[in-house]
Every structure is written in structure tokens, then in C-alpha cells.
Amino acid sequence: MDIQVGSRAADILLKKFKEIQLRNPQWSQRAFAQKLGVSSGALSEIMKGKRTMTPRLKMKIAGALQLSPSEQLDFFDDDLPSHMRPVRHEYFQLSEDQFHLLSDWWHYAILNLVKTKGFSSDHVWMAQRLGLPKKVVAEAWDRLFRLGLLKRSQGKVIREYPRIATNDDLFDLSIQRAHIEDTKLIEKSLMEVPVHLRDHTSVTLVMNKKNIKKAKEMIRAFQDSFSEEIETKAKEGPGEEVFRLSISLFPLTQIKENAK
């Protein structure tokens, strides 16, 4: 695809398209257009710099892509007069790193991979173990060191547990994207992982909205007890594989917030 980018926004679209295509080589421009809610022809012209985007269209596309805070700044940069454009500081890099840490599953996968038998810090080895492109692993690896979650000590890579503070908007958006990625991982595991190595179960029930808070507390408590009981302990030595536990609770009926 021969693309001549003419704006920051178009540049970000191209970047996002390539990021998805890197993880899924079968991903097409037509599929990308459907995800954004625009026609394939319009997207092609935008990415080639032959068509500009209206502010309304930009809002629509930014929502579909779930852009990080710094990506949003760049995406809407062309719409602002020069005196209103924000100056990039180091904290923008930190916010970007925090966003990707929370939203992209492979960061915590790598953090746990460090504790498995035969671990190697070689990017190719990690990429093969996680089924990811080498470039994705390399970027995540550097990000984990920048955030202080990994460090080198006496020739070994050690996981650290620093407290990372982030604002609510950044947290909500990144967690939302992480949950969407979870659904993709679940679908992939159903299709590719043998049943003896996974478990998927669900239950449908009637409940009152007033019990949602209690239900969330019970789910959090179960996650903690599950991890305490099942996760490989340091005294047991390195673990074998990295697993992910995902629990979802959501309404199937259309909720009427003002209903008595």
C-alpha cells in the first residue's frame, strides 16, 4: 500500500493500521475501515493525504481506535492554532508508557515470563513464547525498564513492584482497551488451546443492581484467593507457563437507569 502521509492524524492512522497488521498479517485495509466506521475508499484517500478529516470524523475515529492521551494530542494537533498546541514534556512519555502497560496484555505477560523456567531476555525467545512479533516485544521490554518494573542486577533481570500513579481518565481508557483485548484472547484460546489446558464457564442469573457492588467485591476477593492458592510460589522455583484469568459480569437486559 503506497501511502504519502499529509498530516499527524493520517500518520497516526497509518501507524495504527501497521500495528494491527503486525499482530495479524491477514488484517486488511477494508477491515480497518469497518473498525473505524468509514468506507474503504475514504480511508484510503485519508491515509494518502488526499482527503482531510472533519473534527466530527476525527472524534469518531479517535473513539474507535481508543487512542492514548499523547496520541490524542497528536491526532487533533492540526486542528489547533500554534499557540494552543501543548509542549511535549517527559511526563507525556510516562503517561504513554502507563497507558500501554495497562492496555496491552503482553506487558504483564512479560513480567510473569521473567519468573518461568528457562527464561531468556532474548527478544526472539520471548516473542516465540508469547506468539508476538519481535518488534512488539522489544518495545514492551524497553517500556518495562523505563517504568521501573524491570531492572538488571548481577547479570539477571529482576521484576520490581513500584507504585505507578495515573489519572482516572488514563486509567479508565486503558482498562477499557485491556478488557476488549481480553475478549480477543479468550476467543483465540477457544480456537487454538486444547481443552485440558484451559477452562471457560459462564452462568446466567437474575440480580438486582444494588448488589453489583457486592458482586464486584466478591469477584476481587476470589481473584486474590485464587492467585494466592494457584500461582507458583518463589520457594517452588520458576514456574512453567504464563496463564491469564479473566472474569466478566455484565447485564444481558437493557438497563433503564431511571426505572423505579
Tell whether the model's pLDDT for residue 92 goes beyond 60: no
Asked whether residue 71 carries a pLDDT value surpassing 90, the answer given is: no
Supply the pTM of this predicted model: 0.65
Q: What is the CATH number of domain 8-84?
A: 1.10.260.40
Residue 29 reports pLDDT greater than 80: yes
- The domains of the chain are located at 8-84
Looking at residue 253, its pLDDT comes to 94
Portion of the chain with pLDDT greater than 90, in percent: 41
pLDDT at 176: 79
Which of the residue ranges 8-12, 43-47, 77-81, 94-98 would you say has the lowest mean pLDDT?
77-81
Please give the pLDDT value at position 19: 77
The average pLDDT across 83-88 equals 45
Average per-residue pLDDT in the chain? Answer: 82
Percent of the chain with pLDDT over 70: 83
Q: In the structure, what pLDDT confidence band is assigned to residue 110 with cuts at 50, 70 and 90?
A: very high
Cβ 142 vs Cβ 98: under 8 Å:
no
pLDDT at 163 over 80: no
Q: Is the pLDDT of residue 90 over 60?
A: no
Q: Which of 10-19, 51-60, 88-97, 170-179 has the lowest mean pLDDT?
A: 88-97
Q: What is the mean pLDDT of residues 242-250?
A: 94
| Residue (of 147, 172, 145) closest to 162 by Cα position | 147
- Predicted local confidence at residue 119, as pLDDT: 94
- Which pLDDT score is estimated for 79? 58
Neighbours of 68 (CB within 10 A): 22
Q: Is residue 163 within 8 Å of 117, Cβ to Cβ? A: no
